[in-house]
Structure 1
Amino acid sequence: MTDSRVVGLDGPGRIGEHQVVRLLGEGGQGAVYLAQSPAGERVAVKVLHGRLAADPEVRRRFLREAEVAASVAPFCTARVIGTGMLGEQPYIVSEYVPGPSLDELVKRDGPRTGGGLDRLAISTLTALASIHRAGIVHRDFKPGNVILGPEGPVVIDFGIARTLDAVATISHAAGTPAYMSPEQLGDQAVTLASDMFSWAATMVFAATGRRAFTGSNVPVIMYAILHSPPDLSGVPEPLRAMVAACLAKDPADRPTTGDLLRDLTSGDGRGGAAERTFVDQALPPAAPSVLDGATARPRRSRGGLLVAGAVLVALAVTAGVLLVPSWLSGNEGGGEKATAPLVIDYKAYPTVDVAQGFDGAAAGYDGYQPYGDEAMPAIKVGGGRLSGQGQGPFFGWFALPGAPSSGDTVSVITVGAFAGTGEAEDSVFVGRVKDANNYIGAWYNNTRKEIGIDVLVDGKFRHEPNSASLPLAPGDRLALVLSGGTTITSYAETGGTWRRLTTSRIDLLTTPQERARWRHGFGLRGMTGTIALDAAEGHSAHG
């Protein structure tokens, strides 16, 4: 018995308010227990390994990763119940999904075939795409982490290996050797493409009952992953061509989840993924929100901190019915082709409407205060930075100097310092502003590490809830793109890579005359302290 188990839980016991029924299993990171909630519901409780829990930094990362895991698209997540501490060991509670793992099922009943294999491939790809959309690299995708529940396959334990990277060594690599990518075995950066390699190796096992890379011991298997071709005999087409493309040694040559889903659901059986070259760096596009102009959310709805979710989140996908979200297939909004690209192409916006490096005087910024109970921040400009400060709650939008544009636009800010108070509001905004009662903006809440879009018209919110988790640091950039007066899209640049996050449809700025009344701008909102920006700019496709 390893020290990943909780002391005193060899038999029935309690973890917090949950009555433990039995041990479900344990691995290198922790133990999972079947338990019963006070309401009588069966739940899964995962407890961090005892020796790892002794490190306060690992505990912090474990619970922080739980927050990140909660950002996965809610349409495919199992219900998250909560987290807690049992002495020094953190635990995470999630909905219990009964059923054997893919590893157990294949060993017991043999390889998957025909439509069952196709459904397995599609459902696991859909789940993996949702994980990737949240900016998470699974790092341990394998047959043992695919549970064949009563409602279809679910993927579990994503993000845990990432959480424990700080304690991984060459003798205890993060991941399972037979399903690890070449970059996980070397010193390359581990990106979303790594999961594609592991997914393909898992599909080989599902289709044949054996591994793509074999050997008598772990070093031999690792050598095969790094240098030898996979054994794909027995894998049927078109899955075989797709798996072969994913098992490329170079991560830049592997297709994305979206590429494979399009091939698997196209019905032409060509397996086109093998014939193309892909770079899997950007996140898949976010699902759009339709603005009906009827629902106004409370203006403090971003106030509460995210409750830490479960790292043991399972992504449930119905096996018997093909459910491919529009943002995976490249279509949005009732069959319309997606118009917003994954990255911002500045060549499409050749006119520079305004560019501010904040080196001059604090003049020319028209300020607007949306709410009477929050003061305008005191603005200071100079030395390449604009700062807004308040001794109490403050919120102000500022229109950048320069002529407004009536065409398609992109408004950008470069993040500076945040107040760092941990209060509900520690936020920056960028987008278009007309007056105190009218703005459209992408916002970043530093307390929650979350990005979303607000649309305020005539003093009322005109959007559905939307957000995506992505932490920003000083020097990162946040942008809002307005296309055709009908589509707004938020983007963020971190580490030199732009990512498309959320997209909404609007019908508010449909004429050039109306669009010309809205100017590039930015907003600062906090409970107290100082928030700063390092630059702001606006570009347009035409004046």
Structure 2
Amino acid sequence: MTGSRVAGVDGQGRIGEHQVERLLGEGGQGAVYLARTPAGGHVAIKVLHERLAGDPEVRRRFLREAEVAASVAPFCTARVIGTGMLGERPYIVSEYVQGPSLDELVKRDGPRIGGGLDRLAISTLTALASIHRAGIVHRDFKPANVILGPEGPVVIDFGIARTLDTMTTTNHVAGTPAYMAPEQLGDQRLTLASDMFSWAATMVFAATGRRAFTGSNVPAVMHAVLHGPPELSGVPEPLRAMVAACLAKNPADRPAAAHLLQDLTSGDARTAAASPGGAHLGAASPGAASPAAVGEHTLVEGMRPPASSAVPTAPAGSDGAKARRARPRRWPLGAGAVVIALAVTAGVLLVPSWTAANQSGGKKVTTTPLVIGGKTYPKVDVADGFDSTQTGYDHYQPFGDEALPVIKAEGGKLTATAQGPFFGWFALPGTLSSADAVSLITLGAMAGTGEPEDSVFVGRVKDAGTYIGAWYNHTRKESGIDVRVGGEFRHEHNRADLTLAPGDRLALVLSGDGTITSYAETGGTWRLVTTLDVDLRSTAEERARWRHGFALRGTTGTIALDAAGGRTATG
């Protein structure tokens, strides 16, 4: 392939400053080219198909997905060089990773065996766990999208299908049917569990050289995925037990990537797989309740469901800290962890860390422009360093069975204390300059009681039944977004693993188009945690009248904040 492939856009076969050398491949959303940089190196450039580029919403979501992709943990992402436009067609420039795909390698050299298969499973699970923590559903995980690069397996093309391939009915199948989850072949909502089905089908191919679901034509393959059992002969234990669980027809019965990774690396899965009667991967142990669907996945503890007392009920439609459950064990990623790069993705830099422009009670309160998610927020609506006793907060009690905590704000710290369940929203003084704003808090010490509720929220608040909050639950080490309007929860499940410490920050951005995004700053770097598109059933002007606020929620004890504030954007 020469530059003539893009001659219709640039007669010299260039994309931006890069000279196109050849076509690497084409997918449902775009074509990927190998291009040479002015310095003589190589990059991969993904260009949105011309047939899709005429839709401004598709273009917007393509470029917005670049920001979402940037939120995936740095240890498993390829270096993203930037984005640009070829006329009406957006493109993404990424590091080029050379090597065959898993599909090519297995067809050429045969199935992966022994330690090579284990390393492949661990590395791809690590990649998926990181993608899922960022709130991204890959939607097209398959052998062709796993590149065996010189530094290990690389997962490519994640995230783009999440925003572009919204049609998932049998009339418009986006992906390869043999590796697609049953819900992806119908009109059901896709979740993180959909990727786990695709991962399992990919591992079957890697281990055996054949597909888990076969048929003489596409409809036959789709029928097998929807209704037939997978063919798992030849897949060794403990991988076989994991694969079988992930290939469950019901998404709620599939374990999460992080849970599988933990057991695969700790040896628990091998022990479980060898247990009499096959008591593993979600099979009920004596005294345990049936698997409970929480969010997108079956709730498991050590690959088994927790006791029923670990999953108290929550108000219908609620999410976040209100859904109390035991925190699953986490696999610590140490120096020996497998490092994965995710190539041909996209991203923009999230500018880190508040800069101290002045000191209030010994705490940093910035007056310099703040950049999160590629947008600048220069106007400070309110910045509270908690340097003196403050009794003027408007406060709201969302639920009658949880009391307002006793609040004390002085000496650069705010504390909320109660001897029983408490939950209070507090509105900061001042108003928003526009509907497009970011609300921020700096965490102090959490209660650390180990009780189900040990949570902080940040966002917008109007009254006791109307608020939007990004939350962090210290007990579960999870984060998400709650949207409650007029006493009604209006959000979908949206949880991500997150660990914060005193001094870290949590932020919520509500854009004028109804997009809600949460970010966390750890180690001086911002990353996207999760995002939602919600119909708030209110105008931008009405939302602008909501106030920056924060909430503290605990089962008992004291929770502290070091700062709170809010800013608005410039166009």
Count of matched residue pairs: 404
List alignment gaps of at least 5 residues for structure 1. Answer: 289-294, 309-366, 385-396, 434-439, 447-473, 509-528
Q: Does 1:196 align with 2:204?
A: no
Deviations 1:51-106 (A, max 9, x none): 01111111111111111111111111111111110011110011110001101111
CA distance in structure 1 between the partners assigned to 2:368 and 2:267 by the alignment: 44
Q: In 1, are the aligned partners of 2:204 and 2:212 still within 8 Å (CA)?
A: yes
Task: Kindly indicate whether residue 495 of structure 2 is the aligned counterpart of residue 499 of structure 1.
Answer: yes
Which residue does the alignment assign to 2:438? 426
CA deviations on 1:188-216 (whole Å, 9 max, x unpaired) are 22111111100000001111111110011
Instruction: State how far apart, in whole Å, the 2-side matches of 1:287 and 1:530 are.
Output: 43
**Whole-angstrom distance in 2 between the partners of 1:482 and 1:206:** 38
Q: Does 1:228 align with 2:228?
A: yes
- Cα distance in 1 for partners of 2:472, 2:421 equals 8
Q: C-alpha separation between the residues in 2 aligned to 1:381 and 1:541?
A: 19
CA contact (8 A) 1:47 1:92 kept: yes
* Aligned residue runs from structure 1 range 80-91, under 5 A: 80-91=80-91
Structure 2 CA distance, aligned partners of 1:303 and 1:380? Answer: 26
Q: Any residues of structure 2 matched to 1:532-543 within 5 Å, and which?
A: 532=547, 538-542=553-557
Query: CA–CA distance in 1 between the matches of 2:354 and 2:420?
Result: 26
Is 1:281 matched with 2:273? no
Matched with 1:149 is: 149
CA contact (8 A) 2:444 2:502 kept: no
Residue deviations 1:222-254, cap 9 Å, x none? 110010001111111111111111101011111
Structure 2 unaligned spans of 5+: 274-279, 285-290, 298-327, 333-352, 357-365, 376-381, 399-406, 446-454, 484-490, 505-543, 559-571
Alignment CA distance shift 1:59-1:498 (3 Å): closer
Indicate if the aligned counterparts of 2:395 and 2:427 stay in contact, CA closer than 8 A. no
Contact 2:459 2:469 in 1 (8 A): no
Identity between Structure 1 and Structure 2 (%): 59
Deviation at 1:263, TM superposition (A): 2.3
Q: Match of 1:77?
A: 77
Structure 1 segment 396-415 matched on structure 2, within 5 A: 404-405=416-417, 413=425
- Aligned CA distance change for structure 1 residues 21 and 222 (closer, same or farther; 3 Å): same
Shift of 1:171: 2.9
Q: 1:188–1:172: structure 2 CA closer, same or farther, 3 Å change rule?
A: closer
- Answer whether contact 1:488 1:506 (CA < 8 A) is retained: no
Partner residue, 2:60 = 60
The question of 1:28 aligning with 2:17 is answered no
Q: CA RMSD in A?
A: 4.5
Seen in structure 2, the aligned counterparts of structure 1 residues 197 and 239 have a Cα distance that, compared at 3 Å, is same
Match of 2:301 in 1: none
Match of 2:116 in 1: 116
1:51 and 2:118 aligned: no
Cα gap change, 1:500 to 1:414, in 2 (>3 Å): farther
Q: Partner residue of 1:303?
A: 370
Pairing 1:152-167 to 2, within 5 Å after superposition: 152-166=152-166
Secondary structure of 1:244's counterpart equals helix
Report deviation, 1:493. 2.7
Answer yes or no: is the 8 Å Cα contact 2:194–2:251 preserved in 1. yes
Contact 1:80 1:93 in 2 (8 A): yes
Contact 2:193–2:296 (Cα < 8 Å) also in 1: no
Q: 1: distance between equivalents of 2:186 and 2:293? A: 19
Change (3 A) 1:57 1:238: same
Q: Give the match's secondary structure for 1:136.
A: coil
Q: What displacement does 1:405 show?
A: 1.3
Cα distance change on mapping 1:245 and 1:371 into 2, 3 Å: closer
Tell me if the contact between 1:62 and 1:163 (Cα under 8 Å) persists in the aligned partners.
yes
- When residues 205 and 278 of structure 1 are mapped into structure 2, their CA distance, relative to the original with a 3 A threshold, is farther
CA positional deviation for 1:121: 0.4
SS in 1 for 2:235: coil
The more displaced of 406-415 and 297-306 is 406-415
The 3-state SS of whatever aligns with 2:500 is: strand
When residues 145 and 412 of structure 1 are mapped into structure 2, their CA distance, relative to the original with a 3 A threshold, is farther
Match for residue 128 of structure 2? Answer: 128
| Alpha-carbon offset, residue 502 of structure 1 | 3.6
Q: Secondary structure at the match of 2:370?
A: coil
Distance 1:75 1:162 in 2: 22
Cα distance, 1:258 vs structure 2 = 1.9
The TM-score, its normalising length taken from structure 1, stands at 0.63
> Is 1:17 matched with 2:17?
yes
Q: 1:191 to 1:403 in 2, by over 3 A?
A: closer
Change (3 A) 1:225 1:300: farther
Shift of 1:143: 0.4
Cα distance change, pair 25–538 in 1 and its aligned pair in 2 (3 A): closer
Amino acid at match of 2:281: A
> What is the correspondence of 1:176-215 to structure 2 with a 5 Å cutoff?
176-215=176-215
Secondary structure of the structure 2 residue equivalent to 1:44: strand
Distance 1:211 1:445, change over 3 A: farther
Change (3 A) 1:415 1:161: farther
Mapped partners of 1:256, 1:301: distance in 2: 41
Question: Equivalent residue of 1:405, what SS?
Answer: strand
Distance 1:479 1:507, change over 3 A: closer
Residue identity in the other structure for 1:541 = T
Q: Which amino acid aligns with 1:209?
A: G
3-state SS in 2 of match to 1:23: strand
One-letter amino acid matched to 2:252: A
Aligned-pair CA distance for 1:175: 2.1
SS in structure 2 at match of 1:202: helix
Query: Which residue of 2 is the match for residue 245 of structure 1?
Result: 245
Rounded Cα–Cα distance in structure 2 between residues aligned with 1:166 and 1:99: 30
Matched with 1:140 is 140
Provide the C-alpha distance between the structure 2 equivalents of 1:224 and 1:184, rounded to a whole number of angstroms.
14
> Contact (CA 8 Å) 2:456, 2:552: kept in 1 or not?
no
- Counterpart amino acid of residue 104 in structure 2: E
Which position in structure 2 is the counterpart of 1:346?
A: none
Partner amino acid, structure 2, of 1:112: R
- Checking the alignment, whether the CA contact within 8 Å between 1:201 and 1:211 is kept in structure 2 is yes
| Distance across 1 between alignment mates of 2:479 and 2:208 | 43
Q: Is the 8 A contact 1:132 1:192 kept in 2?
A: yes
- Change in Cα spacing, 1:403 to 1:262, as seen in structure 2 (3 Å) is closer
> How many Å apart are 1:480 and its aligned residue?
5.1
Q: How does 1:347-362 map to 2 (within 5 A)?
A: none
TM-score, normalisation: structure 2: 0.60
Distance in structure 2 (CA, Å) of the matches to 1:6 and 1:285: 50
- Between the aligned partners of 1:169 and 1:104, the Cα distance in structure 2 is 29
Given residue 63 of structure 1, which amino acid in structure 2 is its aligned partner? L
Q: Which residue of 1 aligns with 2:263?
A: 263
TM-fit CA distance, 1:286: 9.7
Structure-2 separation of matches of 1:408 and 1:78: 47
Residue equivalent to 1:360: none
> In 2, distance between residues paired with 1:265 and 1:32?
34
